[in-house]
Amino acid sequence: MKKYFVVSFDNEYDLVDATQDFRDNGFNILDAFTPYAVHGLDKAMGLKPSRLGKICFGFALIGLTIGLYGQYWISAVNWPINIGGKPWNSMPGFLPIAFETTVLFAGLGTVFTLLWRTGVLPGRQPISFAPDVTDDRFVVVLTEELSSFKSKKAEAISMSHHAVEWHEKLESE
Amino acid sequence: MANHVESIREPLVHGNKNLKTITNDVLGIMDKKPTRLWWIGFLLALSALTLGIVAVSYQIMTGIGTWGLNKTVGWAFDITNFVFWVGIGHAGTLISAILFLFRQKWRTSINRSAEAMTIFAVMCAGMFPIIHMGRPWMAYWMFPYPNTRGPLWINFRSPLAWDVFAISTYLIISAVFWYIGMIPDLATVRDRAKTRVKKAIFGFLSFGWSGSFKTWHRYETVYGLLAGLAAPLVVSVHTIVSFDFATSAIPGWHTTTFPPYFVAGAVFSGFAMVLTLLLIARKTLRLEDYITVKHIENMTKVIILTGGIVTLSYATEFFMAWYSGNGYEQFVFLNRAMGPFAWAYWIMVGCNLITPQFFWFKKIRTNMLMVFILTIFINIGMWFERFVIIVTSLHRDFLPSSWAMYKPSYVEIATLIGSFGLFFTLFMLFIRYMPIISIGEVKSVLQFKGRSGGKK
Amino acid sequence: MMVLGVLAFFLGLYLDPTRTWSNVLLSGYFLTGIGFCGIMMVAIHYVSNAGWDVAIRRVPEAMYSVLPIGFGVMALLYFGMHDIYEWSHADVVAEDPILSGKSAWLNPTGFMFRMAIYFVFWIWVGGKIITKSQAMDLGENPAQTSSPTGLSAFWLYIGGIMFVFSSFDWIMSLEPHWYSTIFGLYNFSGMFTSGLAFIMIVLILLRRNGLFKETVKIDHLYELARYLFGFTTFWVYIWFSQHMLIWYANIPEETVYYIKRHVGVFGSLTVVNILLNWFVPFSILLFRKTKRNEKSLLIVASLVLVGRWVDLYMMIFPSNFETPVFGIIEIIIFVGSLSAMVWVFIKAFNRKNPIPQNDPYLSESLHLHT
**pLDDT exceeds cutoff 90 at C117:** yes
Q: What is the pLDDT of residue B451?
A: 45
Q: Smallest CA–CA separation between C221 and chain B, in Å?
A: 14
Plot region of B150 (φ>0 → left; ψ -120 to 50 → alpha; else → beta)? left
- Which alpha helices (DSSP H) does B70-110 contain, by range? 77-93, 99-101
Rg (CA), chain B: 23
CA–CA separation, B84 and B270 (whole Å) = 9
Question: Which residues, numbered 227 to 246 in chain B, qualify as contacts with chain C under a Cβ-Cβ cut-off of 8 Å?
Answer: 232, 235, 239, 243, 246
In this structure, the answer to whether residues A67 and A102 fall within a common structural domain is yes
- Count of CB atoms within 10 A of residue B298's CB? 20
Measured CA to CA, the distance from residue C168 to residue C170 in angstroms comes to 6
Q: Taking residues B144-169, report their average pLDDT.
A: 88
Q: What is the CATH number of domain B32-143+153-443?
A: 1.20.1630.10
Mark yes or no for CB contact A71/B187 under 8 Å.
no
Adjacency order of strands within the sheet including A2-9: A29-33, A138-145, A2-9, A165-170
> What are the two backbone dihedrals, phi and then psi, of residue A6, each rounded to the nearest 5 degrees?
-110, 120
Q: Are strands A2-9 and A29-33 parallel, antiparallel or unpaired?
A: unpaired
Q: Quote the mean pLDDT of chain B.
A: 88
Q: Decide if C369 and B248 are in contact by the 8 Å CB cutoff.
A: no
Of B281-285, B305-309, B315-319, C103-107, the least confident: B281-285
* Per-residue model confidence as pLDDT tens digits over A99-156: 999 999 999 999 999 999 888 888 888 888 888 888 888 888 888 777 777 778 888 8
Residue of C nearest to A94 (CA): C244
Q: Does B3 touch chain C if contact means CB atoms closer than 8 Å? A: yes
Decide if pLDDT at A29 tops 90: no
Distance CA B119, CA B106 (A): 21
Q: Of the ranges B182-191, B216-225, C94-103, C131-140, which one carries the lowest mean pLDDT score?
A: C131-140
Mean pLDDT of A40-59: 88
Residue C140: band (very low, low, confident or very high) from pLDDT cuts 50, 70, 90: low
Model confidence band, residue B455 (pLDDT cutoffs 50, 70, 90): very low
pLDDT at C324: 86
CA distances from B10 to A131, B5, C312 (A): 33, 10, 44
Q: Tell me the CA distances in angstroms from C157 to C17, C43, C167, one per residue in order.
A: 37, 11, 16
CATH of the domain at A18: 3.30.70.260
Nearest to B396 by CA among B339, B319, B436, B441: B339
Residues facing residue A145 across a β-bridge: A2
pLDDT of res. B7: 59
The Cα A24–Cα A26 span in angstroms is 5
Q: What are the extents of the domains in chain B?
A: 32-143+153-443
Predicted local distance difference test score (pLDDT) of residue A131? 81
In this predicted structure, the answer to whether residue C144 has a pLDDT above a threshold of 60 is no
Within a domain: residue C356? Answer: no
What pLDDT sits at residue A169? 80
pLDDT at A129: 82
One domain, residues A111 and A71: yes
Same domain, A58 and A113: yes
Q: Is residue C362 part of a domain?
A: no
Show which subunits contact C, needing at least 3 CB pairs below 8 angstroms.
A, B
- Cα distances from C213 to residues B80, B144, C210, C362, in angstroms, run 56, 57, 5, 16
pLDDT of A98 above 60: yes
Residue C273's pLDDT is 93
| CA atoms of B20 and B11, how far apart (whole Å) | 18
Is the pLDDT score of C191 beyond 90? yes
Note whether C218 and C179 are within 8 A (CB).
no
In a domain, C21, yes or no: yes
**Binary contact (B209, A115; C-beta < 8 A):** no
In a mutagenesis test of the A interface, which of C219, C239, C243, C248 is the best target, namely the one with the most A β-carbons within 10 Å? C248
C41-54: string of b/e by CB count within 10 Å (b at 16+)?
A: bbbebbbbebbbbb
In whole angstroms, give the CA distance from residue B269 to residue B266: 5
Range of the domain at C264: 2-351
Mean pLDDT of chain A: 86
Instruction: Answer whether residue C163 is part of any domain.
Output: yes
Among C247, C287, C288, beta carbon nearest to A92: C247
As for how many domains chain C has, the answer is 1
Q: Which pLDDT score, from 0 to 100, does residue B291 have?
A: 87
Chain B CB within 8 Å of residue C157 CB = yes
Given a contact cutoff of 8 angstroms between Cβ atoms, the answer to whether B171 and B126 are in contact is yes
Write the single-letter amino acid at A91: M
In this complex, is the C-beta atom of C233 within 8 Å of any C-beta atom belonging to chain B?
yes
| pLDDT number for residue B453 | 36
Mean pLDDT of C39-58: 86
Answer whether residue C288 shows pLDDT above 70. yes
Say if residue C305's pLDDT is above 60. Answer: yes
- Find chain A residues with C-beta within 8 A of C287's C-beta: 53
Please classify residue A84 by burial: count the beta carbons closer than 10 Å to its beta carbon, then call 0-12 exposed, 13-18 middle and 19+ buried. Answer: exposed
**Test mutation, C185, C220, C242, C251, chain B, max B CBs within 10 A:** C185
Q: B226–A110: do the CB atoms touch at under 8 Å?
A: yes
Per-residue pLDDT tens for B360-383? 888 888 888 999 999 999 999 999
Helix B327-338 with B342-349: angle, nearest 10 deg: 80
Encode C224-233: b = buried (16+ Cβ within 10 Å), e = exposed.
bbbbbbbbbb
- Lowest-pLDDT range of B319-323, B391-395, C306-310, C362-366: C362-366
Segment C127-154 shows an average pLDDT of 75
pLDDT for C364 beyond 80: no
Residues of A in contact with C247 (CB under 8 A): 92
Q: Are A57 and C288 an interchain contact pair (Cβ–Cβ within 8 Å)?
A: no
Q: Which residues fall within 8 angstroms of residue C253, CB to CB, at 6 or more apart?
A: B326, C177, C178
Cβ-based neighbour number of residue C346 at 10 Å? 13
Specify whether A70 is located in the same domain as A99. yes
Q: Residues B308-357: pLDDT tens digits?
A: 999 999 999 999 999 988 889 899 999 999 999 999 999 999 999 999 99
Q: Report pLDDT for A50.
A: 85
At A172, the pLDDT band (50, 70, 90 cuts) reads low
> Is the pLDDT confidence value at B416 over 60?
yes
Q: Do A52 and B184 touch (CB under 8 A)?
A: no
- Which residue in B126, B97, B133 sits closest to B114, CA to CA? B97
Query: What residues form DSSP beta bridges with A166?
Result: A7
Q: Residue C141 — very low, low, confident or very high, per pLDDT cuts 50/70/90? A: low
Number of separate domains in chain A:
2
Report the share of chain A in percent with pLDDT over 70.
Answer: 99
Residue C299 three-state SS = helix
Residue C118 falls inside a structural domain? yes
Question: Is the pLDDT at B77 greater than 60, yes or no?
Answer: yes
Q: With an 8 Å Cβ cutoff, is C128 touching chain B?
A: no
Q: Which domain holds residue A140?
A: 2-49+127-170
- pLDDT at residue C8, rounded to an integer: 76
Read off the pLDDT of residues B106-145 as tens digits, 9 standing for 90 and up: 888 888 889 999 999 999 999 999 999 888 988 888 888 8
Residues B445, B447, B450, CA angle at the centre, nearest 5°? 160
How far off is chain A from C221, nearest CA to CA, in Å? 20
- The rounded mean pLDDT for chain C is 88
pLDDT surpassing 50 at residue C86: yes
Give the neighbours of chain B: at least 3 Cβ pairs within 8 Å. Answer: A, C
Q: Do A83 and B157 touch (CB under 8 A)?
A: yes
Cis previous bond, B151, omega within 30: yes
Q: How many CB atoms lie within 10 A of CB B402?
A: 12
> How far is residue C338's CA from residue B12's CA, in Å, rounded to a whole number?
45
Query: Do B208 and A126 meet the contact criterion of CB atoms below 8 Å apart?
Result: yes
On the question of pLDDT at C9 being above 70, the answer is yes
